[in-house]
Structure 1
């Protein structure tokens, strides 16, 4: 399973905004973007006018980094979104949102998508009662995601349950049972990621 193994804070600096890739750390004084809010590298502080292609590329890279996936997989999501009915850009974000690792993160299990992805990979979650350890597993409406019985007894999961997150409209959670339900496929209004999906479609449409 391919994944990015470089410096995480470097990604936020390159995109010029906090992507909250390290969870709670991003809201402390240790946040690298707060201390050095310019792009990494020798010419990071120089100001250059961005071309249309550059703007499109940055939006694509931003989306990839927020959801923690690499180019080949992102391209497959785009190709799938392009074949679905509706607006391609919105379809793309919907496909990314219903990934199991993202749903686990949205439910509050993990301070970041990276941590949620690790929890899924380690086999801590069930989907409709069956163990699924594939972060990219695509969920559909009415499916239930729950923590494994052994995982619920750990201190880490108890902390998650005691600090519930504000859920998006397309998810519901039962903290006592350590489970959440995908009520419906999210709409664009439900997805709060700071990405202009239209620019991504323009980039891939060339």
Structure 2
């Protein structure tokens, strides 16, 4: 799998919005978007002209980076969303939200999706009592997600749970912090997802 080793804060600056890729740092005054609210690079403070294609591309790149998905897999999600009943853009967002790594992040066991992916791949997460180490595993309503008993003393997990109230837990999740466990009550509706995402632009990008 491709691995980006540079500062992920550049992604936020490139998209000119917080993508919450660095956990608690994104909520502090150290956030790069707060300190330098312009794209990186020597031409970052210029006045770029945005075409329709460029606007669609930036929205696609933004959502890919938010959920930590590479291009091939993201395109597959778009294709799957098109084949499902309903609105393609909304289907796409629900598919991304139903990934296991995203659910671990939403429940507060990790301060970022990258940290959540690490927990999953290292075998710290149980789904319905069984270990699952596939980050793209699709979670369904009624599934129970919990940390293995031996993993509950991991410092990063403890720190994340202390600050979970600041990030907030979605209403479609029921989290028992004391027992390191969460239940997916339902998959989110469009109204419960970030309004800053313009999913229709992504659909238009892949329909070209």
Q: Please give the TM-score of this superposition, normalised by the length of structure 1.
A: 0.94
* CA distance in structure 2 between the aligned counterparts of 1:55 and 1:5, rounded to whole angstroms: 26
Match of 2:180 in 1: 178
Indicate if the aligned counterparts of 1:88 and 1:201 stay in contact, CA closer than 8 A. Answer: yes
The structural deviation recorded for 1:65 is 0.6
* CA distance in structure 2 between the aligned counterparts of 1:163 and 1:18, rounded to whole angstroms: 18
The question of 1:201 aligning with 2:203 is answered: yes
Equivalenced residues, count = 206
Indicate if the aligned counterparts of 2:102 and 2:116 stay in contact, CA closer than 8 A. Answer: yes
Matched position secondary structure for 2:175: strand
Unmatched tracts of structure 2, length 5 or more? none
The structural deviation recorded for 1:176 is 2.3
Match of 1:122 in 2: 122
The structural deviation recorded for 1:2 is 3.5
Indicate if the aligned counterparts of 1:4 and 1:68 stay in contact, CA closer than 8 A. Answer: no
The structural deviation recorded for 1:163 is 4.0
The structural deviation recorded for 1:154 is 3.6
Moved over 6 A (4+): none
* CA distance in structure 2 between the aligned counterparts of 1:157 and 1:129, rounded to whole angstroms: 19
Match of 2:143 in 1: 143
Alignment of 1:97-112 (within 5 A): 97-112=97-112
Q: Please give the TM-score of this superposition, normalised by the length of structure 2.
A: 0.93
Match of 1:62 in 2: 62
Q: Deviations over 1:65-122 (max 9, x none)?
A: 1001111110011001110000000000000001001000000011111111111111
Indicate if the aligned counterparts of 1:3 and 1:69 stay in contact, CA closer than 8 A. Answer: no
Indicate if the aligned counterparts of 1:3 and 1:70 stay in contact, CA closer than 8 A. Answer: no
Match of 2:191 in 1: 189
Alignment of 1:69-108 (within 5 A): 69-108=69-108
Indicate if the aligned counterparts of 2:39 and 2:45 stay in contact, CA closer than 8 A. Answer: yes
Moved more, 147-156 or 135-144: 147-156
Moved more, 91-100 or 44-53: 44-53
Indicate if the aligned counterparts of 1:142 and 1:181 stay in contact, CA closer than 8 A. Answer: yes
Moved more, 23-32 or 170-179: 23-32
Indicate if the aligned counterparts of 1:4 and 1:70 stay in contact, CA closer than 8 A. Answer: no
The structural deviation recorded for 1:45 is 1.0
Match of 1:10 in 2: 10
Matched position secondary structure for 1:2: coil
Match of 1:21 in 2: 21
